[in-house]
Amino acid sequence: MDDARPLDHTIPADSTGETFSAAVCQAADEKWRILLTRAGKPVAAIVPIEDYDALEAAEDAEDERLAAEALAQWRADGCPPGIPIEDVARELGIDLTSL
């Protein structure tokens, strides 16, 4: 993903099938990033799959970092006991006997 590359196009989110299809082709084949707007405001984007994959990988890495940080803190706190599943189920109105 080229972070310095500007957004290539903006189209209305309610574009016709032909316009939308062309936008998908431009993203897939020409690696364009296309912003979808509603009432002139950005609402979504059509991006090359490589951009999507990079975003997913970045999110996964951040999730792993946060989980490791939480686990390290839990261990540093002496591994205090968690909340029993029965208490959580009761609070949420879940009958564990029916599972």
User: pLDDT, tens digit, for every residue of 65-77?
Assistant: 999 999 999 999 9
Q: What is the CA radius of gyration of the chain?
A: 22
Residue 88 lies in a domain: no
Residue 82 lies in a domain: no
Residue 87 lies in a domain: no
Give the CATH number of the domain where residue 27 resides.
Answer: 3.40.1620.10
Residue 72 lies in a domain: yes
Which phi and psi (to 5°) does residue 2 adopt? -95, 100
Residue 44 lies in a domain: yes
For residue 36, give the H/E element and its range. strand 34-38
Of 43, 46, 44, nearest in space to 34 by CA: 46
Indicate whether this model's pTM tops 0.95.
Answer: no
Number of structural domains found in the chain? 1
User: pLDDT, tens digit, for every residue of 17-62?
Assistant: 899 999 999 999 999 999 999 999 999 999 999 999 999 999 999 9
For residue 47, give the H/E element and its range. none
Distance CA 27, CA 1 (A): 13
Residue 67 lies in a domain: yes
